[in-house]
Chains A and B, each alone.
Chain A
Amino acid sequence: GAVVSQHPSRVICKSGTSVKIECRSLDFQATTMFWYRQFPKQSLMLMATSNEGSKATYEQGVEKDKFLINHASLTLSTLTVTSAHPEDSSFYICSARLNTDTQYFGPGTRLTVL
């Protein structure tokens, strides 16, 4: 099946720094990608919908100035956590939409903010 990669898989950073996470669709073009956050023993929570060439759509309660999303090409979306704090520590997962019925998930990025 289609492959979606994320980089890095794990990142540890100091409080106040910014962290960029990349999401790539390796064998298909995705005009839409989604970013999710998952806390321990919780389900995935949609943070934002990333559309190639336009501004991302953020879910209620997600700060767009803190979680910057850029979808500059049909195969790459990036999520930048700005001025990260310990409460931002989480598992961040992206998915790329192949068609109306199908999205493929990346392997996730474990962010730890000290």
Chain B
Amino acid sequence: KNQVEQSPQSLIILEGKNCTLQCNYTVSPFSNLRWYKQDTGRGPVSLTIMTFSENTKSNGRYTATLDADTKQSSLHITASQLSDSASYICVVSGRGGSYIPTFGRGTSLIVHP
């Protein structure tokens, strides 16, 4: 069964600090992995997408890494801002079939001033 596990479930940090969110998956065969940011009461917005051959991808202060061998990904947020407070969801898609991505439960990040 395809699964995506995220950790930690929730995280509180001070403004300006860095943090790293983790995502482990069992989806196979692998196609791509996306990190989404979901503000409360809003739809998810894509931050990064990574395919099998990519190890690192950055989007501003967000840097995602992927280790396809160990089936792990991380999202690193640098110099956090209050607006980073949101839920971060890891979504993994497999190859072939009807393209139904598997969602992680998300990490709730709260940035305090």
Contact = CB atoms under 8 A, between A and B. Distances in A.
B2 to A, nearest CB: 12
B11 to A, nearest CB: 14
Contact of B100 (A43, A49, A101, A108): A49
A108 B106 contact: no
B103 interface: yes
Contacts of B101: 103
A56 interface: no
By secondary structure, the A interface counts as: strand
Interface in A57-89: 57
B105 A108 contact: no
B43 A100 contact: no
B41 A108 contact: yes
Contacts of A91: 41
A41 B43 contact: no
21 contacts: A6-B43, A32-B99, A41-B108, A42-B105, A43-B104, A43-B105, A44-B89, A44-B103, A46-B100, A46-B103, A49-B100, A91-B41, A97-B99, A101-B31, A101-B49, A101-B93, A104-B46, A105-B44, A107-B42, A107-B43, A110-B41
